[in-house]
Amino acid sequence: MTTVPMPTATTRWRCTLCGNLTRFDVTRSSKVVEYVHLDLAGEPKVEEREVVSETIESVRCRWCNAVDQIELVDRPGSGS
C-alpha cells in the first residue's frame, strides 16, 4: 500500500480505477494537543485543538473500494 499525500489548494484525489473525485474514506493517525473545558456538571468541551502531527494511513474509494488506486490530480482552474 502506498502513501497518498493530502490534497492541496491546487490538487485533489482521484481514483484511477473508477474516476471518482468526490467520495473517499480516509484513515489517519493524529497527535493533537487539546484544551478541554469541563463545565460544572463535568461535561467536556474541546475549546482549542492543535494538530502536532498527522499521517494518512490509507485512502479508500467509496465507489469501487479501491485502496491502492488513489492519485493526486490538478484541480480545474488551478493553473498548474
Total number of domains in the chain: 1
**Residue 79 resides in a domain:** no
Rounded alpha-carbon distances, angstroms, from residue 42 to 34, 35, 45, 68: 17, 15, 10, 44
Largest CA distance in the chain: 53
- Domain of 24 in residue numbering reads as 11-74
**Residue 2 resides in a domain:** no
Q: Which residues pair with 37 in a beta bridge?
A: 45
pLDDT at 5: 86
Rounded alpha-carbon distances, angstroms, from residue 7 to 13, 36, 56, 72: 6, 30, 11, 7
**Residue 36 resides in a domain:** yes
**Residue 6 resides in a domain:** no
Residuewise pLDDT in 10s, the chain (80 residues):
567 788 999 999 999 999 999 999 999 999 999 999 999 999 999 999 999 999 999 999 999 999 989 999 999 887 65
pLDDT at 44: 97
